A and B are shown apart, each in its own frame.
Chain A
Amino acid sequence: MSTIISNLPQLSPKMKMADAINQYHSLLTVLPRLGIPLGFGEKSIEQLCSEHHVSLPLFTLIGRIYCQEDYYPTANELQQCPMTDILQYLVSSHKDYLENKLPHIEQHLHTQLASMDKKYITLISNFYAEFRKEMEKHFRYEEEVIFPYLRQILSEQEATESATYQKNTFHQQHDDIEDTLNDLSNLLLKYIPAEISPVERVDMLLDVYALSNDIARHAMMENRILVPYIQLLESKRHD
C-alpha cells in the first residue's frame, strides 16, 4: 500500500512516547522486546531510550519501519546504528513470537476447537503445530547460521566459506510465514462454521492480523536494514 503522503506526524526523538504509541499502535509490541516498560508518563522517546539503555538510532530505525510504509534507511542512518543492537532486537523478537504470540494464538485456537466436531480437531491442530515448527526452524536458522556469520564479518575476521548467507533466504522464508498466517485467517474468517465461538473467533482473528503485520515489519527489518547493512560491511571489507 503506497500513499501519497502520510498525514501523521513523523516519529522524532523529542516526541512523547505516549503520543507515538497512541498514533502508531503497532509499535506497542516493540517496547517489551527492547525492555522499555509501560507507565512512562510524559517522557520522550529520547529520555526513555537513554533510561533503559536502548540505542536511540535503533529505536528510530524500528520506529520508521513500523510507521512508514515506504521507508528505506540511508547508508548514513544504517551506520549510526550498531549491527549488534539490530541483531539483539531481532533475536528478542523471535523469542517474543515463540514464547508469547504463538502460544497466545494457540490458546484461542483450542477454545475454537473445543466447540468443533471431533474430526476437525486433529487436522487443525496439526496444521498449526506444523506452522509453529516451521517458524521455529526459520528462527533457529537465522540465529545459528546467519547471525553468527554477521558477527564474524563485524569482528572483521574472514568469514568461512560455508557460512555464506543467501540474501534471498530472508525473503522466501518470511513470505512463507506470512502466507501461512494468511491461510489461517482465511480459514477462520471464511470457512469455520458461523456458530463456532463467534466472539472468541473475532479476538483470534485480530490477534492473527496483528501478528501478521508484526512479522511483515520484522521481515522489513531484515530486508531493508540487515541485508543492505551486510552489503555495506562486505563492500568495505573488500576495499
Chain B
Amino acid sequence: MTKIAIAEPSILLRTGLEQLLHELPDAEIIFSTDNLSSLYARINALHPDILIVNPLLYDYAKRATIRAEFDNLPNLRLIGLVTSYVESQHQRQFAGVIELNDDFQRIKSTLNQVTNSLQSDGDEPDTDPLSDREKEVLVCLSKGLKNNEIADTLNISVHTVITHRKNIVRKTGIKSVAALTVYAILNNLIEEKDII
C-alpha cells in the first residue's frame, strides 16, 4: 500500500484528486490539506511515501527548494501538482508531475513510476569487483570447503567468512556454489583440476 498525502489549496482540485486516488487499490490517502502549517504538522507524524504538492503553496522565492524542505524525510517522494505555469527548473525537484489537463491514465502512470522508484531505493548498486579476500573465499568454496574449514585456511573467523560470502553473492548475483565455481574458472581464479 502506497501512503499518499495531498497539499493543494483548491478544494475543487483536492476533492477531485482524492476521488480519483480512491479508485486505486494500492494507494491510500493518509491526509490532505490546503495549507503548509498543517502539512508540516502532519507529515512528520504520518510519514507518507508520496506527497502530492502544489508548488503555488510556496512563495516564489522558496519554490525552487521545496524538496529541501523535506530533507528530514529522505524516503519521501514529491509529486508536483502543477496548476499554472511553473518554471521547468522548479519542476525538476519533483519525482513526477501531475498537470491540470492530465487524464486519469496519465496520472496513474506518473504514480506508478514514482512508486516503483520508491522500491528500488536503499539498494545502492555495488560496482566494485571482488576484493582479494573475497576471491580467496570464493576459491575455497569452489574447492568444496565448508565455512569452518575456510575460516581455518584463511585464518579468519567463521563470521567473517559468512560476511565475505554474502558480499560475493551480492556482487555477482550468483547464489549456488556450483555456479560460483563456474564463475571462478571463467575468471581464472582456479584450475579445473583443483575442483573435486
Name the distance in Å between A137's Cβ and chain B's nearest Cβ. 15
Cβ contacts under 8 Å, A124 to chain B: 182
Contact B24 A180 (CB under 8 A): no
Given contacts A4-B26, A191-B187, contact A127 B182 (CB under 8 A): yes
Contact B178 A130 (CB under 8 A): yes
Q: Is B116 an interface residue (CB 8 A)?
A: yes
Chain A: CB-nearest residue to B187: A191
How far is A186 from B172 in the complex, measured between Cα atoms in Å?
Answer: 8
In A115-153, which residues have CB < 8 Å from any B CB?
119-120, 122-124, 126-127, 130
Q: B111, B175, B181: which contacts A182 (Cβ < 8 A)?
A: B175
Contact B178 A119 (CB under 8 A): no
Given contacts A5-B25, A122-B192, contact A183 B176 (CB under 8 A): yes
Contact B185 A4 (CB under 8 A): no
Contact A127 B178 (CB under 8 A): yes
Tally of B interface residues using CB under 8 Å: 29
Interface of chain B: mostly helix, strand, loop or mixed? helix
Contact A123 B115 (CB under 8 A): no
Q: B2, B27, B112, B174: which contacts A187 (Cβ < 8 A)?
A: B174
Q: Is A54 an interface residue (CB 8 A)?
A: no
In B174-196, which residues have CB < 8 Å from any A CB?
174-176, 178-179, 181-183, 185-187, 192, 195
Chain A: CB-nearest residue to B50: A4
Cβ contacts under 8 Å, A120 to chain B: 182, 185-186
Contact B172 A2 (CB under 8 A): no
Q: B105, B112, B172, B192: which contacts A3 (Cβ < 8 A)?
A: B112
Name the distance in Å between B183's Cβ and chain A's nearest Cβ. 6
Contact A119 B179 (CB under 8 A): no
How far is A184 from B175 in the complex, measured between Cα atoms in Å?
Answer: 10
Indicate the size class of the contact surface on chain A: 20 to 34
Cβ contacts under 8 Å, B176 to chain A: 179-180, 183
How far is A111 from B108 in the complex, measured between Cα atoms in Å?
Answer: 44
How far is A193 from B182 in the complex, measured between Cα atoms in Å?
Answer: 13
Given contacts A123-B182, A180-B179, contact A5 B105 (CB under 8 A): no
Cβ contacts under 8 Å, A157 to chain B: none
Q: Is B109 an interface residue (CB 8 A)?
A: yes
Contact A4 B111 (CB under 8 A): yes
How far is A191 from B184 in the complex, measured between Cα atoms in Å?
Answer: 10
Contact A192 B186 (CB under 8 A): yes
Cβ contacts under 8 Å, B115 to chain A: 2-4
Cβ contacts under 8 Å, B109 to chain A: 7
Some 18 contacts from A to B, beta carbons below 8 A apart, are A2-B115, A3-B116, A4-B25, A4-B108, A5-B23, A5-B108, A5-B112, A7-B108, A70-B26, A119-B192, A120-B185, A123-B181, A124-B182, A179-B175, A184-B179, A191-B182, A191-B183, A191-B187
Residues of B within 8 A of A (CB): 2, 23-27, 105, 108-109, 111-112, 115-116, 119, 172-176, 178-179, 181-183, 185-187, 192, 195
* 8 nearest A-B pairs in the assembled complex, by CB-CB distance: A183-B179, A186-B173, A183-B174, A4-B26, A4-B111, A4-B24, A5-B24, A179-B175
Residues of A within 8 A of B (CB): 1-5, 7, 70, 119-120, 122-124, 126-127, 130, 179-180, 182-184, 186-187, 190-193
Known: A7-B105, A186-B179, A190-B173. 19 other contacts (CB 8 A): A2-B115, A4-B26, A4-B112, A5-B25, A7-B108, A7-B109, A123-B185, A123-B195, A126-B178, A130-B178, A180-B179, A183-B175, A186-B173, A187-B174, A187-B179, A187-B182, A187-B183, A191-B183, A191-B187
